[in-house]
Chain A
Amino acid sequence: MNAVDKALSPKAALRLISGNHACALGAIAAGCRFFAGYPITPSSEVAERLSRLLPEVDGVFVQMEDEIASIAAVIGASMGGVKALTATSGPGFSLKQENIGYAAGAEIPCVIVNVMRGGPSTGMPTRPAQGDIMQSRWGSHGDYPILVLAPASVREIHTETLRAFELAETLRTPVVLLYDQVIAQLTETVELVDVEGSARAERKWASGPREAYQPYAANEDRIPAMSRPGAGYRVHTTGLNHAENGFPTQQPEAVARNLGRLLAKFDRHRDAIDSWQAIGCENAEVVIVAIGISARAATRALDIARAHGVRLGLFRPITLWPFPETALREATKKARAVLVPEMNAGQLSLEVERILGGKRVDAVHRFNGEPIAPAEIAERAETLAKESK
């Protein structure tokens, strides 16, 4: 092997790759063996990479007829017991929502990549945005739990893809991997961790006699064991509200009990779910709260402000939903104000305002397809620091 071959080998530790490529490699390392997707800018590279990688590991890649079919096929593959992924962008993410709700309600593990581009509607396909923060949490109808991870670098896309599968499988839930067009198509040198696909936490599978098995049993950890088709359990899976036995019910007590368990199922797993990065928050005058490329810009803004004698901090939720509320309160305890730079007309700032009720929360909202520059964030934060003295 020459140096170039080595650098291109999936086993090489250091690689110069794009975010979407890192996602594909992370999926393979996580044990993902099924991908269904539909071409859409700026996420198509995830599909293109996996169309080559999956056959090499005896996995299946399929390009479906539309976005809805893609998520449906992914859920179908996962119902068969195979780790599955789809990738899309705004318009496709909207189309997938009904079936994401199905996966949440029937508790079928799967990972959905949503690369955010300009919106609404067709918007700006090749320009970045962060306009799907609320859709990723509330996009499907009814009440349901969902996990959303928001990586901010190519390396983190890789590690968060691994974590997305781990959380999806162990907590029986859809997980959305949410990142913007900049991070998706940014090329960075990254050290890939866990490229050998070390043993990872797996789905809890049904065991014991069929008669004693309840597909939606209210276990201590609130995560019911799943049955693999062919293992003899022959259960029913439905999008209708169901009882512990998996069959539809409209009996109020049974619905309240089972939907209640579903809605509360993450509560006992917040240690594994919550993830954030806090930089310099302990003595910051103003704490910036941001995700993705806006957080990358904010990191630089910290340096600019420091040169001007203003102490800024950065709080970056890596698990975006459920929002790491306790950690945010802790990180902003001493700050006089909070600034939320985000590439939309105001989404993350709403959640931050809700959590920090009473504290001054300003925002930089940008929806013209241009990332927010570090100098702009620094300037607004410095002004905010002065005003709130």
Chain B
Amino acid sequence: MIVDSAAEFDVRDYLRMEMMPHFLCPGCGHGIALRALLWAIHELEIDKDKLAVVSGIGCAGRLSAYIDANTFHVTHGRPLAYATGLALARPDLHVVVITGDGDCLAIGGNHLIHACRRNLKLTCLMLNNEVYGMTGGQVSPTTAETRLTTTTPLGNSEPNFDACALAAAAGASFVGREVTHHVPKLKELIRAGLEHPGFAFVEVLSDCTEIFGRKNELGSSAEMVLRQKSELRPSAYRDTVDTPFRSNELPTGILTKTERPEYGAAYRKAAAVQRANKASADANKGKA
């Protein structure tokens, strides 16, 4: 049983309980990620009325419907683009995007790199389960090589994306990665992302147990979560596991954090200067 360190946090305060039971498969890591997000929101005392959650299509995309906030379940791959319009038009809202590896990196890849570059205040939570779960288990841009999926019956022969490296290369001012195994650490990372005054990209390594795990004989959901420590090699466990690291170890925690102008504020500032200049020019014209 998980005991929340913030004792007053009750996840039900942030969920639409009338939507229960949820539709996630037993053992799916997405529920853990959702809990961590809501915990972080609770700790930051973000007003639910001012919280807007935009999600795309796929298992991750369905999470928005469970959150008691202003929620927008939009088209496949486009939540960052919808969120860009919403956040620019309504800077008073706290806008969070929930997306999956296919939604964010394949069909929505263009929006991700430009959101990273633009640096609008948004928090993008990408739940990476290495597979298109909703459509039955096809290969995704993050599926590891040799893995079996319904469209890689011979084993995946494409290299996979390192989403965090991609986001950092595209200029994201905040990039982080965490695993669902360690909920408080995940909550801390999401919280740091929510607090970041610019675009924050947070990758959550989540497990698809029913489809991906079963196809690749990765064991029970508990075994899959434990495997996050021994095989994924997140840096959070570098000191705690005794088996040797593999070469594809994935760094976790905050990977990039830089300060640069937030797009919306920079735009509004430039516009205000233009209005002021115009007003004084008009006033001078009136005098002449």
Contact = CB atoms under 8 A, between A and B. Distances in A.
Given A234-B48, A248-B65, A68 B71 contact: no
Interface in B229-281: 267, 270-271, 274-275, 278
B69 A69 contact: no
Contacts of A235: 70-71
A237 B90 CA distance: 17
A106 B52 CA distance: 16
Given A69-B78, A76-B54, A230-B93, A55 B85 contact: no
A368 interface: no
Contacts of A232: 49
Interface in A218-273: 229-240, 247-248
B12 to A, nearest CB: 15
A36 interface: yes
Contact of A234 (B69, B73, B92, B113): B69
B214 interface: no
A73 B88 contact: yes
The contact size tier of chain B is 35 or more
B283 interface: no
A247 B19 contact: yes
Given A60-B267, A72-B75, A237-B73, A80 B90 contact: yes
Interface string A126-139: 00000000000000
A1 interface: yes
Contacts of B49: 229-232, 234
B215 interface: no
Which interface residue of A34, A65, A75, A76 has the most chain B CB atoms within 10 A?
Answer: A76
A98 B107 CA distance: 13
Interface in A185-232: 229-232
B88 A34 contact: yes
A230 B82 contact: no
Interface in B1-44: 16, 19
Interface of A is mostly: mixed
A214 B92 CA distance: 25
B143 interface: no
Interface in B119-134: none
Interface in B80-119: 81-90, 92-93, 110-111, 113-114
Contact of B74 (A72, A78, A82, A248): A72
Contacts of A76: 54, 72, 74, 81-87, 89
Interface in A53-93: 54-56, 58, 60, 62, 64-66, 68-70, 72-82, 84
A102 B93 CA distance: 22
B64 interface: yes
B275 A58 contact: yes
Given A66-B110, A76-B54, A234-B70, A60 B89 contact: yes
B50 interface: yes
A333 to B, nearest CB: 45
Interface of B: 16, 19, 48-50, 52, 54, 64-65, 68-75, 78, 81-90, 92-93, 110-111, 113-114, 267, 270-271, 274-275, 278, 285
Q: Which 9 A-B pairs have the closest CB atoms?
A: A76-B85, A73-B85, A55-B271, A72-B81, A77-B89, A76-B82, A69-B81, A80-B90, A65-B114
